[in-house]
Amino acid sequence: MAAKDVKLLGTRPSSYVNKVQFALNLKSIEYEFLVEKLPEKSELLLKSNPVHKKIPVLIHGDKPVCESSVIVEYIDEAWSDAPSILPSHPYERANARFWAAYITDKWFPLLRDFRTAKDEESKAGVLEKIFEGLTLLEGVFVKSSNGKAFFGGEAIGYLDIVLGSFLCWVKAAEIMAQVKLLDETKTPALVDWAERFISHEAIKGVMLEPEELVIVAKTKHAAAAAAAAAAASK
C-alpha cells in the first residue's frame, strides 16, 4: 500500500507511537509519518481523535484509528496476509493481551514513579516493585518463547512490541537514576531478548537513543517545574 494511504500522527520520543511504528514495519507497510509538535496539537489530530486528543493516530485511507494497542490490533487484522502479530490461538491471544495490559498500565508507570520519588526510601520501594515486575516478565518470556528468540516464538509478536516499545525509556531511566534495571544476573533471558529485539531490522532506527530521551525527560521536567512555580506565584 502506498504511503499516501497510510499516515501516522505522532512524535519519536513516544513509546506508544513507536509501538505502532514497529507493527507497520513488521508488516512492511509504507506510511507517512506526520510529526506533532506537542504540546500544540494540529487540526488534523484534533479532528482525528476528538475524544482523547492524543497521539498516536493511524489514518488508513481517510479513516482514523486511535489508541496504540487498538491500532496495533487493527494493523494485524487489516493486513492479515502479512506475518501475524497476535497469536492465532484464542487463549494465547488473551494471555498476550493480559500481560500487555500489565506492562502498560502497571509496570511501565513505575519508571515515572521512581524518577519522581521524593526521597531515597520511596525510591527503594518503587525500585523493588520494578524488579518484581521484571522477574514476572522473565518467567512469562521463558514460558511464551519456548526456548526461541522472542515472546512470539521465532518472530516478534504482540508482547515483544509492547515491552520493546519501552526499552529505550528503561535505558534512559538507568542513565538518569544510575541504576541497572535490566540486569543479566537477575533477568538473563530478558537481557538477551532486549538485545535481539533492538537489533531487529524492523526496530532499528525507530526509537530515539537513550541519551536523547534523557534530554527530552529533563526538558519536560524543567518545563513542568517552571509552570508549577509560575502557578504558585499567582
What distance in Å separates the CA atoms of residue 126 and residue 231, rounded to the nearest whole number?
29
The domain segmentation of the chain, as residue ranges, is 3-78, 90-211
DSSP 8-state class, residue 65: E
Q: Kindly state the percentage of the chain with pLDDT values over 90.
A: 85
Would you identify the CATH topology of the domain 90-211? Answer: Glutathione S-transferase Yfyf (Class Pi); Chain A, domain 2 (1.20.1050)
- What is the pLDDT at residue 206? 97
Bond before 90 cis per omega within 30 degrees: no
pTM of the model: 0.93
Residue 63 in this model has a pLDDT that exceeds 70 = yes
Write the class of the CATH domain 3-78: alpha beta
For 207-217, letters b (16+ CB in 10 Å) and e give bbebeebbebb
